[in-house]
Structure 1
Amino acid sequence: MEVMLWSLIVGAIIGVIAGAITSKGKSMGIIADIIAGLVGSAVGQALFGTWGPTMAGMALIPSILGAVIVVAVASFFIAKSA
């Protein structure tokens, strides 16, 4: 239970950072930040490996890079449909 809570918190922080980097942070809510952070962590670690500092089992730098990719791709498709 405690590990899951930390994963959600770290996922939210990663999502907020990715939103700030892509300048899409104002349009995302906390749930979207958590989803972007968790999915971005999986994508980033799959693409870039697990190097750098880790927190809650997530390599932070690859996770942030993956979350930036996820947020950019998601905002591209959301903008297309709107």
Structure 2
Amino acid sequence: MWGLLISILMAVLIGTIGDALVKSSMPGGLLGSMIAGFAGGWLGSILFGSWGPVIGGFAVIPAIVGAALFVFLLGLLSQALRKSV
């Protein structure tokens, strides 16, 4: 139970930091930040491995970089979709 709560809190924190690093806004507020945190943790671990401190199942530094990359790519996709309509 505590592990799940810590994982969710870390995902929100990582997603919020990743959103702050990229000057675009992640839609969805807290839920969007949580999704960006989980996606960033997954993407960061694939691209950079799992080095640095691990909290709640997240390698923190690669997860933050992965979340920033995820938010950036989502912003690019959003802009492209808005221009095509």
Q: TM-score, length-normalised on structure 2?
A: 0.88
Amino acid at match of 1:53: P
Residue pair 1:52, 1:61 contacting (<8 A) in 2 also: yes
- Alignment correspondent of 2:55: 55
Structure 2: gaps of 5 or more residues: none
Residue pair 1:36, 1:71 contacting (<8 A) in 2 also: yes
- Alignment correspondent of 1:66: 66
**Quick check: which has more Rg, 1 or 2?**
2
Question: How far is the alpha carbon of 1:24 from its aligned partner?
Answer: 2.2
Identity of aligned residues (%): 33
- Alignment correspondent of 1:16: 16
Question: How far is the alpha carbon of 1:2 from its aligned partner?
Answer: 1.8
After superposing on structure 2, the runs of 4+ consecutive aligned residues of structure 1 that deviate more than 4 Å are 25-28
Are residues 1:43 and 2:43 paired?
yes
Q: Distance in 1 between matches of 2:40 and 2:51?
A: 15
Q: Distance in 2 between matches of 1:25 and 1:55?
A: 25
Amino acid at match of 1:36: A
- Alignment correspondent of 1:78: 78
Aligned residues between the structures: 82
Q: TM-score, length-normalised on structure 1?
A: 0.91
Structure 1: gaps of 5 or more residues: none
Q: Distance in 2 between matches of 1:24 and 1:76?
A: 9
